[in-house]
C-alpha cells in the first residue's frame, strides 16, 4: 500500500482520539522524556499493519524512531516483539491506542486468513476476501488478507463485472443477465456470474463467462457443479461462496474449486492481543525488554 | 449522533466502493427501474446503524424512500424485517454492500453488548466500552454500544484523566502520578487511576480520585479490593477491566463493581447476518416480502 | 457517473472562480432578477457534461431550474440548444464560466471520440481511451469518451495488469516479465503485454496473456503481427497504440485489430464552441430563443 | 506558484491513479530496484510543470532525487532532456503517468503561448489568457501561460470588474452598466467593459473605465476603435478578444492594441510529446542517456 | 457571500462543538420538542452574520425554519429581535453557541465599522479594512465590514500590488521598488506604494502609481503630503494607515484623504451582546416574545 | 496542542491569503534573497501562538529557520524580540501577515487572561474560559487562555453535562432537569447546573451536582449563595459567570468562589501590537536587530 495513502486515514484516527489534547499525559509530563515502547505479541499471530503503526507515531512527531522487529506477513509466537518505537514518552503515550487499534485489527485479519489458508494447503484452491470490509479501511484490510496468504477479490464495483442474485432476479434470469452485459462489457474486465442451483449453472454455461460463483451450495452439489464445469467449460474459474468456515473449508477445497471467498476474514476477525510497554530510555537493546505487560 | 456528522463517513465509504462506477449495474440496467429492497435479519440481533443505511442510499439519490421497520436498539428475531428502501433499482444495487457493511458491523456491536448486559441483570454494575474502536468510526461504534444497553467510557484522550500502567511506571508510582495531575487537573474533568495490585490500590486511596480501575485482577482480589474501597472511600466508582468475557462477567458484576469495561465490544464483535433482497416495484406492502435469500 | 461524486469537483471549481465573490455581478445587481440562460452549440458537436452544468448551478442555488435540451452523447448541429437554466440572473452569471469550462472540454472529448469512431465504422475494432487524462477529472473524461462512442481502457493502475516497455526493460525481457506476474496475478484481473517488435511478440505468445498491445508499429508490421496472433493464440485481444490519428485510424482498424487506443482523445481534444446567452424572464419558451451570441 | 498549494492537486491525481495499488509493478518487483528515469522532449517545446513532476515523485517517496535539466519557461529542442528522477524503480513506474499528465498538458500550454507571443514580437501588444481553464487547475495553467511569455488576465471573479455582454443586456446598455458599478466599485479594482460595436464603444467612452475590450470585431473595425480611443481616452488599455488564432494575431497586434486575450491557450492547447525512460542504476550521468523511446 | 462557501466553515465549527454529541441535551430530551428560539440584541448594534446563523441550524437539520427579523447591515436597538428559529428544541440547543459565536463576532465588526463610518460623514473619505483578519474567516469578516458601511481593501496577496516598508528596505528604496514592478505588473492590477516620510513620497511621485499609502504620519505631515499629491499627481488615490482610532479619524478624514484603513475593524472589534432564548412551541408570534434573558 | 493538528488550520489560512500568488513579492524579487525577520513586541504582552508562526513559515518552506526568543506563556516588555525567522526573503514576506494574524490574536487572548489572573492573585479562585471562541480556532484559543494562566472550561458539548437556563425552562425547573440527567449521565462526566436566583440554588442543592454556576448575580447575592453552598454541599465547586470584567473580578474572587468564567477572554480580546521587520542577511545576531518598525 503506497504510504501517501495512509496519511489521511492516520490523521483522521488521531484527530478522533487527540483533537482536544491528551489531558493525562499533558498533566503528568510537562517536559520531554526519552523512552522506548515495545510492541509485543500476547498470542500467536500473523503481523499486519506495521506501516500504520509507523505512520501514527511519525505523524505525531517525525523524529520518532520506528523499528520493525518482524516482517509484515510473518508469523510470530506469543511473547515475540513485533516492533519498537523510541522518542519522547509523551508521543508514545499519545499514539499508543491508535497504533494498537490499527495493528490489532489488521493482524487479526491476517491471522484469521492464515488459519483458513493453512486448512487448504495441498489443494489448488485459493482463499479470497470480499467487499465486506470496514467502511474507509478497505485497502488496508485487503492488504492484511494478502499478508495472511489470501488473494484479493474485487476492490470496488468497477474492477470486475459480477452478476449476483439481485441482478439476476431483476433481469429475469441468468442467461438474460449475461447476454445483457455482453454488448457493453469492457474489454479490460472479466465477467463472473453467481449461480445458486445446477439449473442456473447450466444456463450460465450456455453463455461465456470467465468465473462462476457457486453460492451457498452443499458439498455434493458443489462436486456435481465442478464436474459439469470441467466438462463444458474447463477454462472457467470456479469460486465457492457463502457459509464457509474453518470446519467446512478443507472439504470445499478438496472438491477442486479455484477460489473460496470468505466474508468473515474482514467482517468478523477478532482483534489479536498485543501489548505496548513503555520504558524510560531511548533505543534499549533486546535483552532489556520488559516482560510484556497487558495494555488495555 | 448528529446526522451532519455521518455525511463524510458515508461519502468516503461510497467513494471507496463506487468511485469508478458500478460496471455490472451500468451494463445491466441502462434505464431506471422501480424496486424495493428488504433488509432482513438472518439471525436474532439488536439493530444499530439504520441512520447510516439511510444516509448511504440518500447520499446516492435524495429521492430514495427509506422506512425503518424496527427501532434502533430494538431486539429482532431471525426473519424480521429491519428496514425497507424504495427507488431506482440501480441505486439500491449500488448502495447495498456499503449499507450492509455499516449495518452488520454496528448491529454486531449492539448485539454483543446486549449479551453482556443481559448477563449482569440484577446487579448494580454497568457494561462500558473502551477506546479500542475502529479508527474513524468511534462515534458510530459508541452509539452502537449505547443502543445495546452499555455505557460509554472515554470518547477521546481529552474527556477524562485516566492514569494507566505506562503512566505510572514512567512517573515512578501511583501516588506520584496522582499528585502530579492534582495541580494541573481541569476542574471539569474527573480523575481515574488504574491499579494492578492491592498495594497500588492502597497507594491510590491515599490520594483522592473519582474512579479506580482494577486491571486484570482475579475474582478474589477484586472482592478484596472492593471491600477496601467501600471502607476507605465509599464514593469512589470502581471499574473492572481486562480479560472480561461472557463466562466471567456475571461473577465480576456480583462482586459489587460499578463499571465493567469490555474492549471486545468494539474490537472483536462478529458482524451479524443480514440480507438485502431487491424486488421490482416500489413500496411493496408487507405480505409480499420475499423469503429472505442470502446476499453475499 | 454517480452524482455524489460530482460535488467535490464542482465545489473546487466554483471556489477557484468565486471564492472572493463576483465583484461585477454584485455591483450591478443588488437584487434578484429572474432570467433564463440558453446554452447553444456554436459548431456541430457531441454533448457531454450536462450533469456537471446542472451541478454547477444547483450547487450555487438549489432552486435553479435546469432543463436538458438534448441527450448526453447526442450529436447536435451548430445553433442547437443544449440546455437551458432558469433562476436568479446573478446565479446564472456566477456559474456561467465554470459550467462552460466543464461542458466545452467534455463535449470536445466526446466530439473528437465520435470522429475517430466514425472512421472505423464497419470494422470490428473499438476506439478506447488511455490514462492520459486531466489530473483530477479522469472519471468525467472517461465518461465523455464513452458518450462519444469509445470504450474505456484502464481507469487506474489497479484494474488490469499491463506490462509496458519500462517494465520489460527493467525485468530483462518479455517472457521474464509475463512469468513474473503469473504467480502473483489476481484471479480477477486480465493481463496485457505491450510489444514493440515481432520478436517480442513471439516471446509474448509463448506465455499466456489476455491482451497484446502492438506499440508504435507500422501498418505492415501490424498486419504480420495479427496473422501470427490469429494463428497461435486466436482468443487473444489485439490492441494497437501509439501515433494513431484520424488519417491512419481507418487503415489500422482494417488490419483486424480489436482495440485502438488514442491518448489524444483526452490529452489534446480542443474545446468545442458553446455560448451561454442570458435573457430576462424565467422559463422562456423555445421560440423566444435569442440568436446565439458568442460568450467569451 | 507556492509549493504548498501543489500538495492537494498532486495527492488527488495520485489517488485517482494509485488508490487501489499498481498491480503490475507490485507483481513484477517485490523488492526495491535502484533506477533512473529520463524525461525527454519528443518535439520542440517550452517547459512548464517541472514543479508538479517533482511533487508527484516526492509525494510518493520523499527520498526520490529530482534534477531539473532545463529551466521552467525554457525552450528545448526535440531530444533534449527535461529532467531526471532517481530512486526505487517502483516509485518511478507508479508516478510516471501522473507526472507526464501534468508536464505534457502544462508544457503544451506554455508552448502554444510562446507561438502566439512570437507572432507579435516587435509590437506593443501582450498575449493574455482567460478564465477558460481546466476546472481545478487554474493557477497551474496561468503559471504555464506566464512561462510561455503571456500575461495573466483575471484569476477569478473577484480581482477585476469586467462588464460583459450578458451584464450589459440585463442592465439595459453600456452606460447604465458602467454607471451602476461606479458607486460600488472597490477602490482597489480596475473596471473593464466589453463592447461589440463602435456605438457601444462611444457609449463606454462617455464614462470612465480603465480597460476596454473589443469583442469579436473585424480588423478594420478594430482599427477604427483604436483611433477613437486614442483620441478620446488615450490612457485606456485596449484588449481584443474573440476568434484570435495564429493566423490573425499578428495583424491584430499591429493595430496598436495593448492586450490580446486567447482562450485557446488553456482550453485547446494540445499536449506536447514527452517520454519517460527508466534505466536500472541510480544517478546515471548524461552520456549514458538512452535514445528516448516513446512512453504511451 | 455565496452560500455554498459557508458550508465548510459551518461544518467545521459544528464538528468542533458537537463532534462527540451534546451530552446534556441528549440526556434531557429523548424525544423531539417543538420550540422557537428568539435572537435578541442586548445592546445597540449593526447586524452581520445572519446567513451563518441560518446555515448553522439548517446544517444540523434542514427542516429548521429560520426567519430574519432585520436586514443584514441594519442598525438595531437594544431589545430588538434579530431573527427567530423554529423546530426541534434539541437542534436549537445544539446550534445556539455556534450560531451566536458567528453572529456576535461579525455583528461586532459591523458595529465598530459603522462607528468609524459615522465619524467621517460629510467628508470624501472611505473607511476600509485590511488583511488583519481572523485566519479562515476573511471573506465573512470583509462582508461584515461592507455591511457596516466600510470598503474592502485587498482580499489576498494576488489582487493588488502593494509595496510596503519591508519590500522597500529589501529593494533599496521607493523608486527602485516601483520601477522593479513596472515590467512585470499585471495589466489588470493597480499598484499602491506605502510611504513613511515626505521624502519617500517625493520619490514615489516621480514614478506612476494608482494609490499612495501614508503610513503612521502625524496630521500636519498628512496635510502636507496631500497638498504635494494634489499638485503633482491629482488622480492618485491617497490612503492613510496606522494608528487610526475613533478619536483621530475625523481629523484625518478632513485632511482630504480618500481611504482610511483600520486594522482594528477585524482584529480587535469586541463581540456584541446577543441573547438566544428558547420557548416551547413552534412559530410563536411577535407579542409572545420573552423578555430577553442573557445566554452565557 | 499537538502539532499535527495545526497543519490544516495553517494551510487554510495560507490558501486564503496566497492562493493566487503574492503578486508584489513575485514582481519585486525574481530570485531568492537571504533575509531574517524579527518579530518584536510593540507593547507589553504575554506570548501565545509561536507554534503557529513556526508552522506558517515551515508550511511555505520547510527549510526556513525559526527561533523562539521567549517562552510561550512568557510575559515580555515592549521592544522585546519574540522570535526570529531566517530564510528566503520571499517566504518571509509571504508568511508575514498570516503569522502575525495568529500571533497577535492569540497573544491578545493570553495577555487579557493574564490581566484577569493578576487581579485575583491571593484568592482561591481560578479564571476560566467559555465556548465563546472563534469558530474553527477553539483549541488554539483555549491553549492561549492556558498560557495566560487561566483554566479551560468545556472544550465541546460532550465533555461535561452543563444544564443552562434554556434547558431548565424547557424542562420545567431546576430539579426536574437534574433528575432527568441522573439516569442517563455518563459515569465519566461531571454535572454542572446554572442557577439565576437563590431559589433555584436551593432547588439545585436538593439534588447532587459537582459544580454550580451562579449566573449574572450581584455581589451580595453571590456571597449569600456561597454561604448556602458551603453549608449544604461543601464539596461542590462554585462558578460565577456573566458580566465579569476587570473592575468586578477581584471582588467576585474574594467572595470565595472557585471558578470565574469570562467569555471576553476569547470573544473580545483586542489583538496586541507586534511588528515583523525583515533585514537582508541570514541569521543576524542580536545586536544587529533593527529598531522595531511598525508593520501594518
- Better-predicted residue by pLDDT, E193 or B286: E193
pLDDT band at E269 (very low <50, low <70, confident <90, very high): very high
pLDDT band at B268 (very low <50, low <70, confident <90, very high): very high
Q: Which of B2, B133, B153 to mutate: most E Cβ within 10 Å?
A: B2
Nearest CA in chain F to E105: F267
3-state secondary structure of C203: helix
Are C139 and B18 a contacting pair at CB < 8 A?
Answer: no
Rounded Cα distance between D193 and B239, Å, is 74
Q: Quick check: E144 pLDDT over 90?
A: yes
Q: Tally the residues of chain C.
A: 296
Alpha carbons within 13 angstroms on the beta-carbon side of residue C25 total: 21
Nearest CA in chain B to F192: B188
Residue B46, Cα to own-chain centre: how many angstroms?
11
**Tens-place pLDDT, residues C14-65:** 999 999 999 999 999 999 999 999 999 999 999 999 999 999 999 999 999 9
Q: Quick check: B289 pLDDT over 80?
A: no
F9 part of contact set with chain E, CB < 8 Å: yes
Average pLDDT over residues C262-271: 98
Phi, psi dihedral angles at A95 (to 5 degrees):
-90, -15
3-state secondary structure of E249: helix
* A262 closest CA partner among A64, A120, A162: A120
Rounded Cα distance between D220 and D255, Å, is 9
Contacts of E197 (CB under 8 A, 6+ apart): none
Contacts of A140 (CB under 8 A, 6+ apart): A1, A9, A49, A52, A102, A106
The verdict on pTM exceeding 0.90 is yes
CA distance F31 to chain D (A): 13
Contacts of A122 (CB under 8 A, 6+ apart): none
pLDDT band at A293 (very low <50, low <70, confident <90, very high): very low
Average pLDDT over residues A191-212: 96
Task: Give contacts of D188 with chain E, Cβ < 8 Å.
Answer: 152-154, 159-160, 190, 192, 211
Q: Quick check: D135 pLDDT over 80?
A: yes
Rounded Cα distance between B207 and B196, Å, is 16
Residues 188-217 of E with CB under 8 A from F: 189, 194, 215-216
Secondary structure of chain B in the HEC alphabet?
CCHHHHHHHHHHHHHHHHCCCCHHHHHHCCCCCEEEEEEEECCCEECCCHHHHHHHHHHHCCCCEEEECCCCCCEECCCCEEEEEEEEHHHHHHHHHHHHHHHHHHHHHHHHHHHHHHHCCCCCCEEECCCCCCCCCHHHHHHHHHHCCCECCCCCCCCCEEECHHHHHHHCCHHHHHHHHHHHCCCCECEEEEECCHHHHHHHHCCCCCEEEEECCCHHHHHHHHHHHHHHCCCCEEEEECCCCCCCHHHHHHCCCCEEECCHHHHCCCCCCEEEEEEECCCCCHHHCCCCCCCC
**Tens-place pLDDT, residues A24-56:** 999 999 999 999 999 999 999 999 999 999 999
Question: Which one of the listed residues B131, B164, B190, B224 is annotated catalytic?
Answer: B164
Rounded Cα distance between D65 and D92, Å, is 11
Nearest CA in chain B to E26: B1
CB B90 within 8 A of CB B25: yes
Enumerate the active-site residues of F: 97, 132, 164, 194, 215
Phi, psi dihedral angles at A129 (to 5 degrees):
-90, -170
3-state secondary structure of F239: strand
Q: Measure CB to CB from residue C139 to each of B20, B60, B94 and give the nearest one.
A: B20
Rounded Cα distance between B133 and B141, Å, is 7
Q: Quick check: D287 pLDDT over 80?
A: no
Are C156 and B20 a contacting pair at CB < 8 A?
Answer: yes
| Predicted pLDDT at D288 | 44
Task: Give contacts of B163 with chain A, Cβ < 8 Å.
Answer: 24, 28
CA distance C12 to chain D (A): 6
Q: Measure CB to CB from residue E160 to each of D153, D188, D192 and give the nearest one.
A: D188
Q: Quick check: A286 pLDDT over 50?
A: no
Catalytic site includes residue D164: yes
pLDDT band at C290 (very low <50, low <70, confident <90, very high): very low
CB B49 within 8 A of CB B144: yes
CB C233 within 8 A of CB C100: no
D4 part of contact set with chain A, CB < 8 Å: no
Rounded Cα distance between A228 and A233, Å, is 8
pLDDT band at B284 (very low <50, low <70, confident <90, very high): low
Rounded Cα distance between C147 and F232, Å, is 78
Average pLDDT over residues E119-129: 97
| Predicted pLDDT at A285 | 53
Task: Give contacts of C94 with chain D, Cβ < 8 Å.
Answer: 157
Are B139 and E19 a contacting pair at CB < 8 A?
Answer: yes
What cell does A146 get?
494478502
Residues 54-93 of A with CB under 8 A from B: 89, 92-93
Alpha carbons within 13 angstroms on the beta-carbon side of residue E61 total: 18
Rounded Cα distance between A74 and A82, Å, is 10
| E runs forming strands in chain E | 34-41, 45-46, 65-68, 75-76, 81-88, 126-128, 161-163, 191-195, 211-215, 237-241, 259-261, 274-280
CA distance B20 to chain C (A): 7
CB A96 within 8 A of CB A295: yes
3-state secondary structure of C188: coil
Write the DSSP symbol of residue A19.
Answer: T
CA distance D225 to chain C (A): 19
What cell does B75 get?
431486539
What cell does B190 get?
474527573
* Beta-strand pair A34-41/A81-88: antiparallel
Enumerate the active-site residues of A: 97, 132, 164, 194, 215
pLDDT band at B111 (very low <50, low <70, confident <90, very high): very high
State whether the Cα torsion B227-B232-B234-B237 is positive or negative. Answer: negative
* A276 closest CA partner among A58, A19, A57: A57
Average pLDDT over residues C264-280: 97
Write the DSSP symbol of residue F287.
Answer: G
Rounded Cα distance between C164 and C179, Å, is 14
pLDDT band at D290 (very low <50, low <70, confident <90, very high): very low
**Chain E contact partners (≥3 CB pairs within 8 A):** B, C, D, F
What cell does F53 get?
508562526
What b/e string do you get for F100-109 counting C-beta neighbours within 10 Å, with b at 16 or more?
Answer: bbbbbbbbbb
Report chain F's mean pLDDT, rounded to a whole number: 94
First to last CA, chain E: 29
Q: Quick check: A287 pLDDT over 60?
A: no
A226 part of contact set with chain C, CB < 8 Å: no
Are D188 and E152 a contacting pair at CB < 8 A?
Answer: yes
| Predicted pLDDT at A1 | 83
CB A267 within 8 A of CB A108: no
pLDDT band at C206 (very low <50, low <70, confident <90, very high): very high
Q: Measure CB to CB from residue C20 to each of E3, E4, E139 and give the nearest one.
A: E139
Phi, psi dihedral angles at D117 (to 5 degrees):
-60, -40
What cell does A228 get?
459439469
CB B82 within 8 A of CB B274: yes
Report chain B's mean pLDDT, rounded to a whole number: 94
Q: Which of A187, A241, A258 to mutate: most C Cβ within 10 Å?
A: A187
Are B187 and F126 a contacting pair at CB < 8 A?
Answer: yes
pLDDT band at E57 (very low <50, low <70, confident <90, very high): very high
Q: What ipTM was predicted for this assembly? A: 0.94
Task: Point out the least confidently predicted range of A73-82, B276-285, D255-264.
Answer: B276-285
Q: Measure CB to CB from residue E130 to each of F170, F268, F296 and give the nearest one.
A: F296
Task: Give contacts of F159 with chain A, Cβ < 8 Å.
Answer: 20
**Tens-place pLDDT, residues C176-191:** 999 999 877 688 999 9
Rounded Cα distance between E278 and B284, Å, is 42
Q: Quick check: A189 pLDDT over 60?
A: yes
Average pLDDT over residues A201-224: 96
CB D23 within 8 A of CB C186: yes
Task: Give contacts of C21 with chain E, Cβ < 8 Å.
Answer: 1-2, 139
Catalytic site includes residue C245: no
Percentage of chain F modeled with pLDDT above 70:
95
Alpha carbons within 13 angstroms on the beta-carbon side of residue A146 total: 20
E157 part of contact set with chain F, CB < 8 Å: yes
Average pLDDT over residues D129-147: 97
Q: How many CB pairs under 8 A join C and D?
A: 241
Task: Give contacts of B158 with chain F, Cβ < 8 Å.
Answer: 155, 159
Rounded Cα distance between F288 and F271, Å, is 28
Are B19 and C1 a contacting pair at CB < 8 A?
Answer: no
pLDDT band at D186 (very low <50, low <70, confident <90, very high): confident
| Predicted pLDDT at C282 | 76
Nearest CA in chain A to B240: A296
| Predicted pLDDT at E293 | 39
A18 part of contact set with chain F, CB < 8 Å: yes
All structural domains of chain C: 3-112+270-280 (3.90.1170.20), 116-267 (3.20.20.70)
Question: Which one of the listed residues B132, B223, B224, B248 is annotated catalytic?
Answer: B132
DSSP characters for E19-68? TT--HHHHHH-SS--EEEEEEEESS-EE---HHHHHHHHHHH-TT-EEEE
What b/e string do you get for C119-144 counting C-beta neighbours within 10 Å, with b at 16 or more?
Answer: bbeebebbbbbbbbbbbbbbbbbbbb
CB B90 within 8 A of CB B63: no
State whether the Cα torsion E232-E233-E234-E237 is positive or negative. Answer: negative
Are C13 and D98 a contacting pair at CB < 8 A?
Answer: no
Q: Largest Cα–Cα distance of chain B, in whole Å? A: 74
Rounded Cα distance between E17 and C193, Å, is 55
Are E156 and F26 a contacting pair at CB < 8 A?
Answer: no
* A13 closest CA partner among D151, B136, F253, F272: B136
B218 part of contact set with chain A, CB < 8 Å: no
B4 part of contact set with chain C, CB < 8 Å: no
Are C188 and A159 a contacting pair at CB < 8 A?
Answer: yes
B274-280 β-sheet, strand order: B65-68, B81-88, B34-41, B274-280
Question: Which one of the listed residues B44, B118, B210, B215 is annotated catalytic?
Answer: B215
Are C188 and A187 a contacting pair at CB < 8 A?
Answer: no
Amino acid at each position: 500500500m503506497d504510504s501517501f495513502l495512509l496519511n489521511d486515514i492516520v490523521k483522521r484516527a488521531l484527530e478522533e482520539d487527540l483533537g482536544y489534547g491528551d489531558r493525562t499525559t499533558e498533566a503528568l509530563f510537562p517536559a520531554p522524556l526519552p523512552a522506548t515502547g515495545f510492541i509485543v505479541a500476547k498470542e500467536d499471530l500473523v503481523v499486519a499493519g506495521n506501516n500504520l503503526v509507523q505512520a501514527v507515531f511519525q505523524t505525531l512527531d517525525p523524529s520518532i524512531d520506528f523499528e520493525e522487529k518482524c516482517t509484515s506477513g510473518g508469523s510470530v509466537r506469543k511473547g515475540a516483539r513485533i516492533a519498537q518505537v523510541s522518542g519522547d514518552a509523551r508521543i508514545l503515550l499519545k499514539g499508543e491506542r491508535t497504533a494498537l487499534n490499527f495493528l490489532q485489527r489488521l493482524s487479526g485479519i491476517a491471522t484469521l486468513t492464515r488459519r483458513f489458508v493453512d486448512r487448504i494447503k495441498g489443494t489448488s484452491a485459493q482463499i479470497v476476501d470480499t467487499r465486506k470490509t470496514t467502511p474507509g479501511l478497505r485497502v488496508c484490510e485487503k492488504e492484511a488478507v494478502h499478508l495472511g496468504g489470501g488473494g484479493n477479490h474485487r476492490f470496488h464495483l468497477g474492477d470486475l463485472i459480477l452478476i449476483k442474485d439481485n441482478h439476476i432476479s431483476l433481469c429475469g434470469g441468468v442467461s438474460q443477465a449475461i447476454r445483457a452485459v455482453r454488448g457493453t462489457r469492457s474489454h479490460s474486465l472479466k465477467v463472473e456470474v453467481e449461480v445458486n442451483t445446477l439449473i442456473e449453472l447450466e444456463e450460465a454455461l450456455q453463455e461465456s463467462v470467465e468465473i462462476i460463483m457457486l453460492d451457498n451450495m452443499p458439498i455434493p452439489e458443489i462436486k456435481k457443479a465442478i464436474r459439469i464445469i470441467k466438462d463444458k467449460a474447463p477454462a472457467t474459474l470456479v469460486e465457492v461462496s457463502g457459509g464457509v468456515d474453518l470446519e467446512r473449508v478443507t472439504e470445499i477445497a478438496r472438491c477442486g474449486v479455484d477460489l473460496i471467498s470468505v466474508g468473515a476474514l474482514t467482517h468478523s476477525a477478532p482483534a489479536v492481543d498485543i501489548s505496548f510497554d513503555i520504558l524510560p530510555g531511548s533505543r534499549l537493546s533486546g535483552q532489556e525488554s520488559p516482560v510484556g505487560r497487558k495494555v488495555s
